């Protein structure tokens, strides 16, 4: 049994800030510059839960909070894959979600990018090899970038998106 008193005394996870605001601003300026160069004025992202435990979704949702506020850098989350430039896949792809994942990716206009966010989406995570999942997103989709972590932080997600945009610029 956990001693409640010891929980009160130990250091809290939320006591440390992920990055100072000026570092996030600098990262955001770099992202905004890449978005303007590669995508015009904005980058539209569709997030797809393929069977996750919602850890990665919480971090993706944090991108829209007042601290990160990614819309100021030109990143928007869209409800329809027909409006999306990037598909963020979270969670190991379950058998029940296979068709939905394929249809969502197929509905996106070209050029499109697929990003696996979190350990489960990258390689199946703790569910790899179980009867209920195919594995990571790359088992059924062409994944352009994997952002590992359980879950990855919002800063890691932003850094990954920046790396994806830079790599896309080198290909064209």
pLDDT tens per residue across span 81-113: 999 999 999 999 999 999 999 999 999 999 899
Cα distances (angstroms) measured from residue 13 to each of 10, 22, 84, 104, 149: 9, 22, 34, 36, 17
Higher pLDDT, 40 or 18: 40
* pLDDT at 3 exceeding the cut of 60: no
Domains and CATH numbers, the chain: 21-26+41-165 (3.40.50.12280)
- Stretch 51-79: mean pLDDT, rounded? 93
pLDDT tens per residue across span 133-151: 999 999 999 999 999 998 9
C-alpha–C-alpha distance, residues 107 and 100, integer Å: 10
Name the nearest CA neighbour of 158 among 64, 34, 46, 28: 28
* pLDDT at 1 exceeding the cut of 50: no
Q: Which token pair is 95? A: 């058998």
């Amino acid at each position: 049994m956990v001693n409640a008193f010891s929980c009160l005394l130990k250091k809290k996870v939320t006591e440390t800030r992920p990055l100072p605001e000026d570092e996030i601003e600098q990262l955001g300026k770099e992202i905004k510059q890449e978005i303007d160069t590669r995508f015009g004025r904005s980058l539209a992202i569709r997030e797809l839960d393929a069977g996750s435990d919602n850890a990665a979704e919480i971090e993706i949702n944090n991108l829209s909070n007042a601290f990160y506020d990614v819309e100021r850098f030109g990143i928007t989350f869209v409800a329809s894959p027909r409006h999306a430039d990037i598909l963020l896949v979270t969670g190991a792809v379950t058998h029940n979600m296979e068709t939905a994942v394929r249809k969502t990716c197929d509905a996106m206009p070209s050029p499109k990018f697929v990003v696996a966010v979190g350990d489960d989406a990258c390689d199946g995570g703790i569910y790899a090899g179980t009867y209920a999942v195919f594995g990571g997103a790359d088992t059924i989709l062409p994944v352009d970038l994997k952002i590992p972590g359980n879950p990855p932080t919002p800063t890691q997600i932003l850094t990954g998106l920046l790396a994806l945009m830079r790599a896309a610029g080198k290909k064209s």
